[in-house]
Amino acid sequence: MHYISTRGGIEPIGFAQAVMMGLATDGGLLVPAEIPVLEPARLRIWAGLSFQELALEVSTLFIGDEIPRADLKALIDRSYATFSHPEVTPVVTAGETRILELFHGPTAAFKDVALQWLGNLFDYLLEREGGRLNIVGATSGDTGSAAIYGVRGKERIRIFILHPKGRVSPIQERQMTTVPDGNVHNVAVRGTFDDAQNIVKTLFNDLPFKSAYRLGAVNSINWARILAQTVYYFYAWGRITGGDTERRVSFSVPTGNFGDVFAGYLARRMGLPIDRLIIATNRNDILTRFVHSGVYAVEDHVHQTLSPAMDIQIASNFERYLYYLHDGDQARVRALLDDLKRTGRLEVSAEQHRQAQADFDAVAVSDAETLDQIRATYEATGYILCPHTAVGVRAARDLPEAVCLATAHPAKFGEAVVRAIGCEAPPPPSLQGLLGKEARCAELDATAEAVKAHIEATLKAVSAA
């Protein structure tokens, strides 16, 4: 399987190179040159596989023989051995609501599904090829801790995670900053997640800096993350339908950066019988507004909400969707993104807007509605939703048969849960005692220059030690 840029700036490359690059040299995102389409007979067989077996089959389609099958199986088994549930991503019910629980990994968030795998994949490729990697990523909450736990203690990797100061939950902040491993470095930027994400993109677009310091990406701009997240759509469909390819399943996906719902879109393009894909957003509703209007327009500022991991305006993976929406027209994608950079908005044609509305439903959910949904679900069933999951459940209220993705354990968002139901959710073992641990974190202005200087100084100090 070969990979190309959404903007047309590179020759096709292999999977391993795509993983290590993260971002194309022209600033575009990497996508597979072709998407495999599965026959119904294979889907019926896959419906009976364990999560690990299914991950092996899905991954092989996009990796080919670049990683021997036995090695790939070992990587997958090692990655999901850290999960506390034997099914990895079980489908449960709360009353009549189907919930796909994605929070049974070491940091109690869906990001673990991809980042436990990506950390081991990085380590495998670095050991095989020789060399070291400095990972730089931005987080609106859960990506940072999941990435850190995926690579902590790995000798060939150092990781620098940026988060917006004061805009993640206390538990999320402590999950990142209390990890004592020497290869872990945290930065609180004085700004928003979009500021942090723009800094990361700036560093990756600085090709001399990227090359000199061997930067790698763990944000959902890395294709391996999308690939890993695609697996649980297949898994949920199989558990619900038993492999009946005549049955279609809908999914409601709380999303800010568009990666999680794009994974579902990819699964559907591969032939998985998905009916509706609901984009569930909070007040930062740029994706919802796009589906409704065909216009993707940035607002004056990012709104701080009870679902902070979705407090995002510029959704990185939206570029991948634009590529497929325009049938792989890389020049058109580049022109649209130039419009967005220049004017803060882009607009697709009437034909593309109709296609977007066929691809997705979209619902924006307020903080008041989020709290109401947490309260209503708890009173009716005793099940506690995290605020992000509540956004997805609320968005699907007109589609009650939809599977709602539970993206984080509710104990990570104690303040919102207490406001809704008057008590906190019991924390899993992985979250217990975090607030009492010693933290390590640098605080910087939200500029690429400040972060670049910090990375350079840190790596020079490490080399001198």
Write out the catalytic residue numbers: 111
Instruction: State the Cα angle at 227 between 361 and 43, rounded to 5°.
Output: 75
What is the pairing mode between strands 91-94 and 97-101? antiparallel
CA-closest candidate to residue 389, choices 144, 100, 114: 100
The amino acid sitting at 241 is T
Contacts of 170 (CB under 8 A, 6+ apart): 414, 435
Give the DSSP per-residue string, 3-17: EEETTS-S--B-HHH
Question: How far is it, in rounded angstroms, from Cα 8 to Cα 333?
Answer: 9
- Residue 36 has phi, psi (to 5 degrees) of -65, 140
- State the maximum Cα–Cα separation within the chain, in Å, rounded to a whole number: 62
Contacts 24+ apart (CB under 8 A), 443-450: 443/165, 443/187, 443/188, 443/189, 443/190, 444/187, 444/188, 444/189, 444/190, 445/189, 445/190, 446/189, 446/190, 446/191, 446/192, 446/195, 446/196, 446/199, 447/199, 448/198, 448/199, 448/202, 448/203, 448/206
What is the pairing mode between strands 97-101 and 345-347? unpaired
Question: How far is it, in rounded angstroms, from Cα 459 to Cα 213?
Answer: 9
Query: What would the two tokens of residue 389 be?
Result: 């999951």
Confirm if 222 and 136 have CB atoms less than 8 A apart. Answer: no
Give the DSSP per-residue string, 419-457: HHHSSPPPPPGGGTTGGGS----EEEES-HHHHHHHHHH
